[in-house]
Amino acid sequence: MNLLLTGTLLAGLLTAPATPTPTATWTVKAPAGGPVATVHLDSQGSPSVAVSRGGASVLAPSPLGVTTEQADLTTGLSLTGRSSRAVVEKYTTTAGKRLDRLSVMNETRFRFARGDAKLDLVVRAARDGVAYRYELPGAGAVLGEASAFTVPAGSTAWLAGHRRDYENPFIQYADVPPAEYQMPALFGVGQNYLLLAESALNGSYTGPHLVSDQGTYKIALWDARVPYDHGLTTPWRVMVTGDLATVTESTLVDDLAPGSQLTDTSWIKPGKVLWSWLAGGRPVQQSLESQKEFVDYAAQHRWPYVLVDAGWYDDPVTGERAWTDRTAEFTWIPQLVEYGRARGVGIMVWLRFSDFDTHDKRVQRFGLLHQWGVKGVKLDFIDSEAQERLQWYDGTLRDLADNQLMVNFHGSTVPKGINRTWPQVMTMEGVHGAEKSSNLTTSHLAALPYTRNEIGSMDYTPMAFQRPSRPTSDAHELALSVVFESGLTNLAGSLEAYRARPEAERFLDQVPTVWDETRLLSGKPADHTVMARRSGDRWFIGAGVSGAARTLQVPTGFLRGRWLVEVTRDGAAGLVREPHVVQGGALAVDVPAEGGFAAIACRWRPGLTTCAR
């Protein structure tokens, strides 16, 4: 449910001729402290924005404006009006860092004109960052943005090269080479961090990426021409800033997104998913008997879902890898759904984008899946942020909701507030994840909580214990079930690998996939993460390091009173579980190179020896 409380404080209507005005500067301040956005209009009528926090520069003056087919709205602008308001929103989500949200922002709207052409710049400032967007009236086409981000010199960067499916690794840079990079992008700026991101992208616009040049990161658009017919509101350009905990725990990207399009979300149920692709590939996806084994395991451990991946609807006669008129005839998915239903396990299925690329296909095929009783789908190989593909997302999200199907998008864009607007979106790929057989490093894993996973649920697919190529220790891998957030967590282990690790099974049986609260206890991008997430009256802690063995000092002051903390860590002969009773202070945990630990904390009482329920 969304509750919007808006207080509008008119700052006065300013009038000016449609010629450049003298240099002028305005500020937009976050409520109760936080960053300050400074909007400047120079003597040529070119606007810019800068961001500071605690008096320190976080973003140097950076250009603003758009170019349309009708006018160049990057220069020659005059301010014709300005108004301010407070925006306070309470809402709930179905996934994410915390389910209940409160957003408080100050907003200023700047009305610019150049002759008859008009451009509104809307700037918001919140405790955890600053954002802006443009609004244009009438009809026309955008040809590009002047929007860019000038990061102060000497900043450290954690960036991933631009790729249409967002599946490149994050790399730490002291000096960033000229190249194209994806958003989100993270920078260490003095004592602060700055995350560049986007919110509220849909089919009315087109996707962005960053082009770097000597500390400035310009927005480049996917489409060279973006038409609009009835006015245009662009996505938000988001700058999350603060200390590392503030940035990591921020929900600003969601806060800026439109409210939910659904009135009934009772059918949306996040949870753990037993996923067999990395345990056997296509042959396992084509075997009813193999999938029944996975259902039996899920039922034994009370994991709510099994996902059948690519291959299940390949034609058994022709080998055609596409949905055909015969798919409903030969598939055994309805049998598996019934088998799972009898055991309390829901079935999800993989789908290829090209088989669902029109509304008519989706109506018929989503309807059939719903009729069978399928709970959700994994839609793959979307591979574009062009305006026409974003319009496909818009239609597909409505069609999925009409058929009560949860969705995990793969080969896709990344979350940009999508779960707030469409609560059935449980997770998205858009990550260099566990499926990669090369160039998967713990330094990349230790950058993800502050970059890709900061902006929304991430389908990394952890727990592939059977893969010799994974860079993590067993305890580090187990910790990823907490370190990484995903409304549907696709767990990639083989049944044999799970059974060989009873302490991993014990932990995974208890860990949830949605959270009431998230806290970063300790961290440094590309070096280590210690993340705590609360579900009800228990806390789950996950930690992973990149590089050498060390002793992690885990602060426990957030646990008020006396608590039992059960730590599962790497031992000489495998995973071991150790209980600790803590009351404030720090808990020291030794971890090996590339190692980590997973823990459960519950309030201690006399005689309590375990947090298990």
Note whether residue 610 is domain-resident.
no
Collect all residues with Cβ–Cβ distance below 8 Å to 578 and sequence separation of at least 6. 566, 567, 569
Distance CA 67, CA 564 (A): 59
Cα–Cα distance for residue pair 256/252, rounded to 1 Å: 6
Give mean pLDDT, residues 570-592. 97
- Two structure tokens written together for 543: 């930690």
Give counts: helices (H), strands (E), the chain: 13, 38
pLDDT at 71: 98
In this structure, is residue 529 part of a structural domain?
A: no
Taking residues 38-67, report their average pLDDT.
98
Residues 365 and 433 in one domain: yes
Check whether 12 has a pLDDT greater than 60. Answer: no
- Flag whether 468 is in a domain: yes
Query: Rounded to an integer, what distance in angstroms lies between the CA atom of residue 566 and that of residue 132?
Result: 44
Q: What pLDDT score was predicted for residue 21?
A: 55
pLDDT per residue over 255-290, tens digit each?
999 999 999 999 999 999 999 999 999 999 999 999
Q: Both 298 and 359 in a single domain?
A: yes
- Are residues 195 and 338 both part of a single domain? no
Determine the Cα angle at 526 with ends 523 and 529, to 5°.
30
Please write the tens of the pLDDT for every residue from 308-347. Answer: 999 999 988 888 899 998 999 999 999 999 999 999 999 9
Angle of helix 359-372 relative to helix 333-341, nearest 10 degrees, comes to: 40
473: containing domain: 271-513
pLDDT tops 70 at residue 14: no
Closest by CA position to 210, among listed 201, 197, 220, 196: 220
Torsional sign, CA 575, 456, 407, 446: negative
Average pLDDT (386-397) is 98
Q: Is the pLDDT assigned to residue 208 strictly greater than 80?
A: yes
Angle CA 16–21–27, to nearest 5: 95
Residues 191 and 298 in one domain: no
Give the total number of structural domains in the chain: 2
Helix axes 502-510, 474-483, angle to 10 degrees: 0
Give per-residue pLDDT as tens, 416-450.
Answer: 999 999 999 999 999 999 999 888 999 999 999 99
Choosing from 215, 230, 255, the residue where a domain stops is 255
The separation between the first and the last C-alpha atoms of the chain, rounded to the nearest angstrom, is: 31
What average pLDDT does the chain have? 95
Instruction: State mean pLDDT over 280-304.
Output: 97
Looking at the domain assignment, is residue 579 inside a domain? no
Residues marked active site are found at: 380, 435
Residue 2: pLDDT over 60: no
Residues 373 and 230 in one domain: no
Residues 371 and 281 in one domain: yes
Q: In this structure, are 192 and 319 located in the same domain? A: no
Domain end point (choices 196, 227, 255): 255
Distance CA 469, CA 61 (A): 44
User: How far from 276 is each of 293, 335, 347, CA to CA, in Å?
Assistant: 10, 18, 12
How far is residue 280 from each of residues 273, 287, 466, 495, measured CA to CA in Å?
Answer: 16, 11, 11, 10
Residue entry with tokens 């922002």: 105
Contact 513, 531 (CB under 8 A): no
